[in-house]
Amino acid sequence: MQHPRTVTDIHRHHGVIVLTDQYGTSWTYPVNAVIPTAVPDPLHIHISTTANGGNR
């Protein structure tokens, strides 16, 4: 398993997408590829229906 990396640069040309990370390492993907990413889940806030008059 690889450690997480932060993409710092994105280029699209000649049918490819080039991603560059914070260490200067680049990866090339076809423009129609599914690119693996990791994004933290957003904070979920539960709103009680009784606290706002029964509306959500």
What residue ranges do the domains of the chain occupy? Answer: 1-56
Number of neighbours of residue 21 by Cβ within 10 angstroms? 14
Q: Is-contact 30 15, C-beta < 8 A?
A: yes
**HSE-up (13 A, CA, CB side) for residue 14:** 2
Q: How far apart are CA 14 and CA 31, in angstroms?
A: 9
pLDDT digits (tens, 9 = 90+) for 14-49: 899 999 999 999 999 999 998 877 776 666 666 666
Single pTM value for the model: 0.59
Q: Is-contact 36 46, C-beta < 8 A?
A: no
Q: Is-contact 5 22, C-beta < 8 A?
A: yes
